[in-house]
Chains A and B, each alone.
Chain A
Amino acid sequence: MIVIQDGKGTGNNAEVDKNNDLHTRAITVGEVLNSTIRGEGYIVSTGTVNITNDTESYLLYIKNDSENDLVIAATVFINGLSTGGASDEVTFLGQINPTGGTIISSGLLFDPFNTNLGSANVFEGETRLALTLGLTATGGLQADGFIQGSGRHTFPNEFILPKGASLSGGAQCAAGNTSMNVSIGYTVYFRDSEII
């Protein structure tokens, strides 16, 4: 039989209680923070986009080219008030694995924001931003949602993009809209293969 002693030599011993539980203490680190420390966390964001119509516009495209899974840890959709629209409701467009469309062919390539400010890592994949309204995403699985009213809407649901998988996000404002500011942002990280 053994007693677990403090390795620092304090004389403290680990307790076992009357329920036969060994008492432990642990510091937990979430996967997002762990990936950020490794320099594998990114913010992929459109910034502010002024939508001046009521038709579909894809605004952002992300594709994973890494051997490691790309995890979409959170999605943030921000929208202001509509001018001219029947309401402030917005359809938050999402397309999984699009194979075509003008967001892929003509969206601006850009470097996502590495959240480890000392890391020289670059995003291993493709990220594109719409510079004009009306860009399309086609050939994928449509997964839209509705945003009712202006605000900052955070969706903590986790999505995984294995190598080669992609995602495009966009917005469509209510009928009659002539002006609404929107922003789409994703908190993403490449999963550490050693922790699987």
Chain B
Amino acid sequence: MIVIKDGAGTSNKAEVTVNNRLKTTGVNLTITEAATESGDTYNINSALVPLTTTNESALFYIKNNEENDLLVDQIIINFRDFVGTGGQPNLRIYRNPTNGSIIATATDAIQQNRNYGSAKTLDCDCFQGIDSDSLTGQDNIVFVPLITTAAATLVSFETLTVLPKGASLGISYEPPSGMTSMNIIVAINCTLNGSQL
């Protein structure tokens, strides 16, 4: 029989309850909280992109070049300065796109480590698009209709998408037909699943 005693040198000993459970006081972290502690979470976003057409525009692309899985926790769409007749815009999430003008032009998106004391950077191809940029070669697309084009709207939703090494994700935005001009930012929050699991 063993008894667990305090490693800090007191005479305290771990208790087992009447229901035969070891009594513990635990700190539980989500994988993202733990990864932020180790400098493995990132915000990646486009610059403020002006749109003046109602074409579908590929505005964000990321390909994971790390050995470990990249977890996309959230997609964030932020738009403002909307001019025109409102309506419901469409977002499209592309699964493994391989080509298109956003990839060919390869304008780097902005990468920020969410642990401000960490010097780690994410090994990825991550590009931002412009009005009417395209994505092609995907193996699936999911449509996500948005509700409004009201000014300064932040749309954030959990996605829990996983990108193993070599996998890619694209995001496009199609304004409502009455739009004449607007500005938009597309961003993701992501977690590199390194030593956490």
User: A residues bordering B, Cβ < 8 Å?
Assistant: 1-5, 12-30, 32-33, 36-37, 39, 41, 43, 45-48, 78, 80, 111, 113-119, 150-152, 181, 183, 185, 187
Contact B30 A27 (CB under 8 A): yes
Contact B26 A26 (CB under 8 A): yes
CA distance A136 to B185 in the complex (A): 40
Chain A residues with Cβ under 8 A from B26's Cβ?
23-26
Which of the 9-residue segments B47-55, B117-125, B163-171 touches chain A? B163-171
User: B residues bordering A, Cβ < 8 Å?
Assistant: 2-8, 10, 12-15, 22-31, 34, 69, 71, 87-88, 90, 93, 95-96, 140-147, 157, 159-169, 193, 196-197
- B117, chain A: closest CB distance, angstroms: 20
Contact A45 B96 (CB under 8 A): no
Contact A29 B24 (CB under 8 A): no
CA distance A15 to B6 in the complex (A): 5
Chain A residues with Cβ under 8 A from B165's Cβ?
118
Contact B169 A117 (CB under 8 A): yes
Chain A residues with Cβ under 8 A from B27's Cβ?
23-26
Identify 12 residue pairs between A and B in the complex whose beta-carbon atoms are under 8 Å apart, listed by A's number: A1-B4, A1-B13, A16-B13, A24-B25, A26-B29, A28-B31, A37-B162, A45-B142, A47-B143, A116-B167, A117-B96, A117-B167
Given A22-B24, A23-B24, A150-B147: A16 in contact with B5 (beta carbons within 8 A): yes
Q: Which residue of B lies closest to A21 (CB)?
A: B25
Other-chain contact of A183, B96, B143, B167 (Cβ < 8 Å): B143
Chain B residues with Cβ under 8 A from A25's Cβ?
26-29
Contact A22 B162 (CB under 8 A): no
CA distance A43 to B28 in the complex (A): 28
Chain B residues with Cβ under 8 A from A27's Cβ?
28-31, 34, 196-197
